[in-house]
Amino acid sequence: MNDPALAGLPEAILLDEIIPARAEWDHTVHAGETLRIIDLEGNQAVDFLMYGLHDDTERYSAQDTIAAQKNIFLRTGTVLISSEGNPMAQISGTSVAYHDTIGGACSCESNTLRYGHHTKAQHACVENFLMSSARHGRGKRDIVSNINWFMNVPVEADGTLGIVDGISAPGLYVDLKARMDLVAVISNCPQINNPCNGFNPTPVRVVIAGYART
Ligand SMILES: [Zn+2]
């Protein structure tokens, strides 16, 4: 294992893929396996959802995760909680100070509201989530509040939210260790109207590592 980007992962690399700029992706991650997401070029928001593999009515819950850890930011050690109150995964390591779970996912509708009608035809994260979800029989009502890996959404003392320049950089990563069998869904955010992707969406790398299954 000479690739420094794989340092610290379990021996068996079960998957190693590039998600192109603006693209969607989903994959099963079994309990005990680690999903590493690498921000290859820096400042690339990675919108993220998780569903239980065996019962997808159990899914990631931003509000339960925030309530459980009494903090709005996701950092090393954060346990990501499901809608049933169960641990779905834990952030076993990250080289970014914190990640967001309150900024939501961009959509054609929110783009037109924020940035004008000329953005109506621009591809957005909700469309990516719908494409991935359709493969599993899920629709728009199954899209819940998501995680934004590598996205910087500071909250000021008076509660004001911002979507500002990222604090990520080329090669930084986040590791998620699954605590249950789950399906991870990614929208590699296509947004070009605010700085969440540095106005230039770029590819990310995903690696799933664990112990060889027989
Ligand atoms: Zn987006």
pLDDT in tens, 13-38: 999 999 999 999 999 999 999 999 99
Please tell me the distance between residue 122's alpha carbon and the centre of ligand 1 in angstroms. Answer: 11
Q: How far is the CA of 108 from the centre of ligand 1 (A)?
A: 10
Mean pLDDT of the chain: 94
Q: Which residue has the tokens 């004008």?
A: 116
Statement: residue 92 has pLDDT above 80: yes
The two structure tokens encoding residue 187: 């929208």
**59 C-alpha to ligand 1 centroid (Å):** 20
Instruction: Please tell me the distance between residue 46's alpha carbon and the centre of ligand 1 in angstroms.
Output: 8
What is the average pLDDT across 45-64? 97
Q: Could you tell me the two tokens for 150?
A: 């590598």
Predicted confidence at residue 45, as pLDDT, reads 95
Q: How far is the CA of 116 from the centre of ligand 1 (A)?
A: 16
pTM, 2 dp: 0.95
Q: For position 214, what pLDDT does the model report?
A: 59
Mean pLDDT throughout 189-213?
A: 90
| Beta carbons of 88 and 178 less than 8 angstroms apart | yes
CA 54–ligand 1 middle distance (angstroms): 27
- Residue with the bigger pLDDT between 212 and 162: it is 162
Q: Does residue 7 carry a pLDDT above 60? A: yes
CB 133 within 8 A of CB 185: yes
pLDDT band at 11 (very low <50, low <70, confident <90, very high): confident
pLDDT at 213 over 70: no
pLDDT at 125 over 80: yes
**Which stretch of DSSP H or E encloses residue 112?**
helix 108-115
The band of 138, judged by pLDDT with boundaries at 50, 70 and 90, is very high
Higher pLDDT pick, 165 / 72: 72
128 confidence band (pLDDT: 50, 70, 90): very high
Residue 1: per-residue pLDDT? 55
Ligand 1 centroid to Cα of residue 25, in Å, is 14
Q: 174 C-alpha to center of ligand 1: Å?
A: 18
CB atoms under 10 Å from CB of 71, counted, come to: 12
Distance separating alpha carbons of residues 214 and 211, to the nearest angstrom? 10
For residue 117, is it left (φ>0), alpha (ψ between -120 and 50) or beta? alpha
CA of 200 to the centre of ligand 1 (A): 12
Cα of 93 to ligand 1 centre, how many Å? Answer: 24
Q: For 67, phi and psi rounded to 5 degrees?
A: -65, -40
Ligand 1 mean position, distance from CA 35 (Å): 20
